[in-house]
Chain A
């Protein structure tokens, strides 16, 4: 089936190639009902007779969900690996990213993130002081997110076998039994909210790689990554509306990918309003220069929320009051059709399809 095909960089982009890889290789071999949820975290019901012992791996301190599976709480479980280059960028670093990414994957499933594991792959010769800066940033971010780093692992590989430092984190959170965050619950008429500006992380990384000439020259504000743990803000949003249908953090592949994953194969469509979508001026300028589209750029501190129309105003207020959600906006709505597709009313009043990207956006020739 896979013949002589090779892994391409595009397989890691979060776009169509990534989806094919997951479907053809990982799902094909690992298939089970939990994986088939295909959410940012797996939601796991614990078997009735489970007794968790202090077993040398992570110590799951006493928690009712573990002791008593009928307490009205489910577990959320997720993992993510971080391979960003450069390791430090404006607005964050690989450590902050590694904590935020996993916390956010738990949070968008409606979970309260509790415990994280962290595994390091270190390249021989890495400066110890650099590692310490990353670890201290992880600690700070974990405190900010209210999670405990409960277990970990370290491996060192020969010089040249890794790019300085890779981090994997896994996380466990708890979800109230009454909550059900799933695209299956989305209905025509629901509103789509975004918790702030698009593309900040993607452009900050390009700038940090010096792939943007003289960024300061065409924007007044520095281009900072939005990298942040969103657990607190998302819990507040859930406080304002228990009936939130669906949430996701639009990371790799951007908002376009996230919304296509939501709409594809379903009996509703999504209509966005370009004029409502917040994009920072500097990000917009950088995109113009490089021929990129903010819709496809990575975000690391934003959440998309789909909620009933009646609650949208209340959720928006809560988001806007939170320091991480000041620029939140209602950016679109769920429509009858064309089903399965994402459309956008453009600034000049035309309509265009927002498709799933094939792989990473590439800067064009001219």
Chain B
């Protein structure tokens, strides 16, 4: 077992798709709506053409689980402001480069001091190698990336590095899922019947943090892996709960995810970060859905160190990314999609990230509906 192609088996996929169809055939309801919260699920659903294998009365909504997409314009503007400070080197994961702020993006500015790194370790090395510069890491992402960023802060602390900073915009999944259920349920009238919960986030946090969704809201959840068979199996398990009228949190991705998650990673997060309110692009401020540096590590906080003012931001006119992230609209509903907004000239964040809903639609389904 190398976990390379085993979870992409055509026959097993066909079998699962048939089971899903017969499950829905036998039920009274006319249609089903579920949400895959995580961008990697969205991308792989398109990448493997899974929608074509699923029954037409099953509606898959994409959720807010793409770190680039939910990063607010103001954050990009702050990063751009920092990039203009003399002596600053910005280190970032690749896909943040293209995200448009109010006026421009880090890529379009072509400043030369913005470096793409693959991990926080690269950013730390950059800080050590350039003691006369100040290295700012753009700390975005969910519980998946938070541990490595926390670890880099601990390492910088241990080494006494005075020139390493993090511009924090970490977010946590369960709180935004609560806001989705309350918001979507109350205002948007989308009958969301179940969640495919993120795979990698759940590796860290486990299954317990989702249990309130089943308990308080009666919404079934399945934590599914990212391979096509994982996704199909996860959908099958979720629909099974829906059809039977159950609401539990199940783990399909059991080869990686434990109910308790990864305690070591959780401890590192806990040591360095504390929960705070966070702004989600298109959704707004969600209480306690972010992670900020604890008091004893605040000297690593780029926003405090450089005391950058929160800039006035301008959201692109006509952009429906907010509705997209809440699962209220799909890309073809947006007047900009495929016209003013394409992967080479993205307007909204959902087109920027390779995991964004709009990018996935555009890339794998074409511009047309």
Which A positions have Cβ atoms within 8 angstroms of B? 6-10, 15-17, 20, 211, 213, 275, 281, 284-285, 288, 290-291, 338, 341, 345-353, 355, 357-359, 361-366
Q: Which residue of B lies closest to A10 (CB)?
A: B107
A355 and B110 contacting across the interface, CB-CB below 8 Å: no
Contact pick for B366, options A6, A349, A353, CB 8 Å = A353
Task: Given A6-B110, A7-B110, A364-B95, check contact A348 B53 (CB 8 Å).
Answer: yes
Cβ–Cβ < 8 Å partners of B96 in chain A? 365
Cβ–Cβ < 8 Å partners of A7 in chain B? 110
B93 and A351 contacting across the interface, CB-CB below 8 Å: no
Cα(A115)–Cα(B73), bound, Å: 54
A366 and B200 contacting across the interface, CB-CB below 8 Å: yes
Interface residues of B in 314-369 (CB under 8 A from A): 342-344, 353-355, 362-366
Cβ–Cβ < 8 Å partners of A290 in chain B? 118
A351 and B52 contacting across the interface, CB-CB below 8 Å: yes
B118 and A8 contacting across the interface, CB-CB below 8 Å: no
12 residue pairs of the A-B complex, CB under 8 angstroms, read A6-B108, A10-B107, A281-B4, A285-B4, A288-B4, A348-B9, A349-B10, A349-B49, A349-B53, A350-B49, A362-B97, A365-B140
A348 and B8 contacting across the interface, CB-CB below 8 Å: yes
Interface residues of B in 64-109 (CB under 8 A from A): 67-68, 93-98, 107-109
B353 and A364 contacting across the interface, CB-CB below 8 Å: yes
Cα(A20)–Cα(B345), bound, Å: 12
Contact pick for A346, options B49, B200, B353, CB 8 Å = B49
Q: Which residue of B lies closest to A291 (CB)?
A: B354
Cα(A285)–Cα(B3), bound, Å: 10
B59 CB-CB contact with A under 8 Å: no
A255 to chain B, nearest CB (A): 15
Interface pairs A-B: 6 shortest CB-CB: A350-B49, A362-B94, A358-B344, A348-B13, A358-B343, A366-B144
Cβ–Cβ < 8 Å partners of A17 in chain B? 344
Cα(A211)–Cα(B119), bound, Å: 9
Apart from A9-B107, A291-B354: 13 A-B pairs, beta carbons within 8 A: A6-B110, A7-B110, A16-B343, A213-B118, A213-B119, A348-B232, A349-B14, A351-B49, A351-B52, A355-B343, A355-B364, A358-B344, A361-B354
Cβ–Cβ < 8 Å partners of B97 in chain A? 362
A296 to chain B, nearest CB (A): 10
Cβ–Cβ < 8 Å partners of B194 in chain A? none
B305 CB-CB contact with A under 8 Å: no
Interface residues of B in 38-62 (CB under 8 A from A): 40, 46-53
B223 to chain A, nearest CB (A): 15
Interface residues of B in 135-149 (CB under 8 A from A): 140-142, 144-145
A350 and B52 contacting across the interface, CB-CB below 8 Å: yes
B124 CB-CB contact with A under 8 Å: no
B145 and A8 contacting across the interface, CB-CB below 8 Å: no
B219 CB-CB contact with A under 8 Å: no
Cα(A187)–Cα(B53), bound, Å: 30
Taking chain A's interface residues, is the majority helix, strand, or loop, or is none over half, making it mixed?
Answer: loop
Cβ–Cβ < 8 Å partners of B116 in chain A? 362-363
Cα(A362)–Cα(B106), bound, Å: 14
B50 and A350 contacting across the interface, CB-CB below 8 Å: yes
B94 and A349 contacting across the interface, CB-CB below 8 Å: no
Q: Which residue of A lies closest to B49 (CB)?
A: A350
A348 and B94 contacting across the interface, CB-CB below 8 Å: no
A364 and B93 contacting across the interface, CB-CB below 8 Å: yes
Contact pick for B342, options A347, A350, A351, A358, CB 8 Å = A358
Cα(A346)–Cα(B5), bound, Å: 12
A335 to chain B, nearest CB (A): 15
Cβ–Cβ < 8 Å partners of A211 in chain B? 118
Cβ–Cβ < 8 Å partners of B4 in chain A? 281, 284-285, 288
B228 CB-CB contact with A under 8 Å: yes
A350 and B51 contacting across the interface, CB-CB below 8 Å: yes
Cβ–Cβ < 8 Å partners of A353 in chain B? 363-366
B153 CB-CB contact with A under 8 Å: no
Cβ–Cβ < 8 Å partners of B251 in chain A? none
Cβ–Cβ < 8 Å partners of B364 in chain A? 352-353, 355
B108 and A8 contacting across the interface, CB-CB below 8 Å: yes
B249 CB-CB contact with A under 8 Å: no
Q: Which residue of A lies closest to B138 (CB)?
A: A365
B257 CB-CB contact with A under 8 Å: no
Most buried by A among B53, B144, B229: B53
Interface residues of B in 115-136 (CB under 8 A from A): 116, 118-119
Cβ–Cβ < 8 Å partners of A357 in chain B? 343
Cβ–Cβ < 8 Å partners of A275 in chain B? 10
Task: Given A346-B47, A353-B365, A362-B94, check contact A8 B107 (CB 8 Å).
Answer: yes
Cα(A361)–Cα(B10), bound, Å: 27
B344 and A16 contacting across the interface, CB-CB below 8 Å: yes
B141 to chain A, nearest CB (A): 5
Q: Which residue of A lies closest to B107 (CB)?
A: A8
Cα(A59)–Cα(B144), bound, Å: 62
Cα(A213)–Cα(B109), bound, Å: 30
A8 and B110 contacting across the interface, CB-CB below 8 Å: yes
Cα(A124)–Cα(B344), bound, Å: 37
Cβ–Cβ < 8 Å partners of B13 in chain A? 348-349
Cα(A346)–Cα(B52), bound, Å: 11
Cα(A365)–Cα(B70), bound, Å: 13
Q: Kindly supply a per-residue 1/0 record for chain B positions 5-38, scoring 1 wherever the CB is within 8 Å of any chain A CB and 0 otherwise.
A: 1001110011000000000000000000000000
A348 and B200 contacting across the interface, CB-CB below 8 Å: no
Cβ–Cβ < 8 Å partners of A349 in chain B? 10, 13-14, 49, 53
Cβ–Cβ < 8 Å partners of A351 in chain B? 49, 52
Contact pick for A347, options B8, B142, B200, B344, CB 8 Å = B8
Task: Given A348-B8, A355-B366, check contact A362 B354 (CB 8 Å).
Answer: yes
A341 and B366 contacting across the interface, CB-CB below 8 Å: yes
